[in-house]
Amino acid sequence: MEVEMKRVEAALPRVLQLLTEAHTAVAAVKRVSESNVDEATTAVDNAETKIVEKQAKVNRIRGIRNGGTSANGRQTRTVGRTQKYVDEDELEAARLEVLDAKHELKLAKKDLEKANEINGKKIEEYNNWCAKFPQKEEELLQRAREISLCGADYLRKQFLEQNGDMYHAKKAADCCNTLFNPLWLKGKENDVAFVEANIVLLDEFGFSDFKGNFQEQLKAEIPRIIERANNPMVFDWEGFDKSKLFQTRLERRRRRLGEHEVDEDWKKDLGEVATRIWEWWRPIVAEGNKEFPAFKFALRRIALLQVSSCDVERVFSQLKLVRDRCNDNLLEDMLEVRLFALCNGNLKSLLIKAWEFPLVDVDEDDE
């Protein structure tokens, strides 16, 4: 299934800009981890040098230095001039300095090991990020197609196939976007038969009032409704004041995109288009208007058909109540049972109605 990528292509320059900024930030994190490794390596080298210096100090206090090689090849050690009495306190202090230097070396090696571990993770994250978010335009489009294809297949099955859950809702929406859309009706004076063909979509609403003789009445009004849609004196589409909701959406877009990046064309805002379409129909559905009785009746029925998600929202509200009372340690099966009981109310009456026989209470002795 081919997926149109017009909006993706339009947003591609902005996406590339954001990806470039994100790539710079991710690379900066990787550079910081690499810098930490370099600092830890330098600390290890300094600690090793310090040990050598402190050990040399101990040897100097002892008066010991390495010598050359004897004639027979055996290494000899020349003992320099020593003091008669060695300052034991100074020697002990030098030994402690050697131990401290060794301890510093141990800590420096641990820091280096930790820095290498963190750096390895950052490099892996950086490589994964680069693989996940390509920087080239062609690769981005291909990735967008791959992501969109799954959703497109799902939507096709739901909305375009006859056995899809949203197939009839899609047909009903098509009916609203044709028969009851004056912007679509405008210019259809020569295609009345094509407009009349969309009347059968009224069956998708499932109203018995929309069948039979009613559709014939609607067909009789179509030529006059098209004439009204073509009359510029009926409604000033361009001069209509912007709705408050449209102005609010524009203001949000200005804050997000900038003053000069916002397109204020009302035709590109579906909410504003719907508002103006309803204002065009308002005189027709008003009380006392008998010019288009069939369209008036149909519009009133459709306008009262509210699409709501309150059932789903109610389930989430009950879920929050259960979690607040039982915390998050509740098992999934028990959570499902509690939600089922809360969302379905009196289960006893529900089961009686479903199976049409009374439930017999079980005695404790029978248990």
Say whether pLDDT at 226 is over 60: yes
Can you tell me the distance from the alpha carbon of 173 to that of 205, in angstroms, rounded to the nearest whole number? 9
Report which of residues 252 and 359 the model is more confident about. Answer: 252
Supply the angle between the helices 270-285 and 293-303 in degrees, to the nearest 10.
130
pLDDT interval class at 78 (50, 70, 90):
very low
Give all domains of the chain, ordered by start, each with its CATH number: 6-67+84-150 (1.20.120), 166-303 (no CATH), 310-355 (no CATH)
Structure-token match 């009133």, residue found: 300
Say whether pLDDT at 80 is over 60: no
Can you tell me the distance from the alpha carbon of 189 to that of 302, in angstroms, rounded to the nearest whole number? 25
DSSP string, 141-155: HHHHHHHHHHHHHHH
Q: What is the mean pLDDT of residues 229-234?
A: 90
pLDDT of residue 308: 65
Task: Confirm whether pTM is higher than 0.85.
Answer: no
Number of H helices, E strands in the chain: 13, 0
Q: What is the mean pLDDT of residues 241-245?
A: 91
Say whether pLDDT at 211 is over 50: yes
In the chain, what percentage of residues exceed pLDDT 70?
A: 84
Averaged confidence pLDDT in the chain: 80
Say whether pLDDT at 360 is over 70: no
Q: What is the mean pLDDT of residues 19-41?
A: 88
How many Cβ atoms are within 10 Å of 276's Cβ, its own excluded? 21
pLDDT of residue 158: 86
pLDDT tens digits, one per residue of 268-304? 898 999 999 999 999 998 888 888 999 999 888 887 6
pLDDT of residue 183: 92
Question: b/e string for 189-198 if b means 16 or more Cβ within 10 A?
Answer: eeeeeebbeb
Q: What is the mean pLDDT of residues 219-238?
A: 91
Say whether pLDDT at 5 is over 90: no
